[in-house]
Chains A and B, each alone.
Chain A
Amino acid sequence: MSQTLSYDVAHLIGAIVLMAGFTLLYQRRVFAVLNTFAFQAFALAAAAAWQAHVQNAPHLWATAAIALIFKAILVPLALHWLVEKLGIHRAVEPALSIAWTMIVGVALVGLSILLVLPVTANAAALTRESLALAMSVVLLGLLMMITRHNAVTQVVGFMALENGLILAAVSAKGMPLVVEISIAFSVLVAMTLFGIFFFRIRERFDTLDVNSLETWRGEGH
């Protein structure tokens, strides 16, 4: 198989992950957000599997399996269950209108490209593209975290950010398996903690809107 073809397929899968990041910002229903997130994790698993195949690195198969089982299946199912259990308001309430979020998202993609270009001046153009893609996914996850009121969508933003990190990691050669497994488990722990926090926040304030936390931070008032 030719070198360029393997890179092209990798970039194409990376672009699908990025598109899923934009779709996350575009959704207006909590369940649609969760389904899109599952799709993004699935694309990520495909990216990892492709790299495992191309680099002939068996440990990347483990990464792909972790992404598929935990992030594409378990985490979305758990969040589904939480949303139903807590009876959360199903509509996403963006702090910034959807159109503006998309525009800011494109600006962030531009920013990540500007960042990546000087840093990787000596690297091949091919690495540069995958790094730019992964960086954009990370920034879009951050954007999702700051533009949504609801705690569930913020958690999805966090998970999407982490998807971007894994995407960057699998495109670089030779990341040890220990790192990936520890990341995967820390995400699971985070997920559990978030779940507990959901229950606590809701018990306290009867809503998952994090704005109601602000009066309790002790900043003035």
Chain B
Amino acid sequence: MTPVLLQLLQLLLVVTAAPLVTGWVRLVKARLQARRGPPLLQPYRDLYRLLQKEAIVAPSASWVFRAAPYLTFSAIWLAAMIIPTFSIDLYLIPAADLIALVALLGLARFATALAGMDIGTAFGGLGASREMLIASLAEPAMLMVTFTLSLLSGSTSPAIVAEFVLHGGIGLSVSAGLALVAMILVAIAENGRIPIDNPATHLELTMVHEAMVLEYSGRHLAMMEAAGMVRLTLYIGLIGCLFLPWGIALPGASGLELAGGLAMWAVRTLALSTALAVFETSIAKMRVFRYGDFLGGALLLGLLAAIFHYVSEAV
């Protein structure tokens, strides 16, 4: 019974905390840039406001355009459910592994790109093509990281990797370090953060994600925005559970340990989102033609991580 309850708790927790994480990143960025910035709870208000508004759909839009926000959001929400955040004793953990996670995120991206093209505007198509360029490089890099971790721990399930790391199975390994760097690069690209995409701009030359969702309004836009926020929380949780799982509650944990797991998850999320804000403030947006170098670098790091695993394991 407990795994089901914990799963439900995580289900609600991820969605309710996601706007807070986004709000925190925006607030820290604003303060670093010497602006006062929006209040911490502004993303909740934005979502509420969008949900109240009428959804306007262009006459040329097909059902794909209307279905895409729900498909995107539910795929990402489902992906967020299979990542252990505060406890690894979740009901859905045995059902899916990291490869399924990559597939779910790919499904969400596919739906968004289709919607961008469906409406037939120039910006939608441009955003979709750029998103696919990023995805074609980021997905293999993510899979290489997955393979490295499963070589190290013997499983592709995030819960087993977390447990393995927790018991000191990996230790200070060069492979794990390289995989961590590759994973961070992929997370930055997938969430459309600064060197790749600027989430706060609508400048036609640079936008990627915003270009695809430009035609959305009302509840559709709210779903798309919420999906982006959940995705950020998901990646932060994923990096946390794979590389820094300390404090996570194990199966059969007492109530106190669960509370500790929740607190540690909050601390990790706070630390990683603050680091993201600092990183974004200290770096400039990259030209579109350099995406290949950035993500190719992530892919090569993933490859190196796997290669070095074989050196240290001995033949």
Contact = CB atoms under 8 A, between A and B. Distances in A.
Interface of A: 4-5, 8-9, 11-12, 14-15, 19, 22, 26, 98-99, 102-103, 105-106, 109-110, 113, 116-117, 125-126, 128-129, 132-133
Given A106-B304, A109-B307, A11 B312 contact: yes
B116 to A, nearest CB: 26
A102 B311 contact: no
B178 A15 contact: yes
A20 to B, nearest CB: 12
Given A19-B181, A125-B313, A102 B293 contact: yes
A99 B315 contact: no
Given A4-B171, A8-B173, A102-B297, A117 B315 contact: yes
Interface string B279-312: 0000000000000110011001001100110111
B40 interface: no
Contacts of A116: 311
Interface size class of B (residues with CB under 8 A): 20 to 34
A14 B173 CA distance: 11
B303 to A, nearest CB: 6
Interface of B: 171-174, 177-178, 181, 292-293, 296-297, 300, 303-304, 307-308, 310-315
Given A102-B300, A106-B300, A128 B311 contact: yes
Contact of B307 (A5, A99, A113, A126): A113
Contacts of B312: 11, 125-126, 129
Nearest to B170: A8
The SS class assigned to the A binding surface is helix
A99 B293 contact: yes
A106 B303 contact: yes
Nearest to B312: A129
A98 B294 CA distance: 10
B307 A125 contact: no
A213 B4 CA distance: 73
B27 to A, nearest CB: 31
Given A8-B171, A8-B172, A113-B307, A15 B177 contact: yes
Contacts of B172: 5, 8-9, 11-12
A115 B313 CA distance: 16
B181 to A, nearest CB: 7
A39 B253 CA distance: 44
A98 B173 CA distance: 28
Given A5-B172, A102-B293, A125-B314, A12 B308 contact: no
A109 B181 CA distance: 18
Contacts of A132: 308, 311
Contacts of A9: 172
Contact of B174 (A5, A11, A105): A11
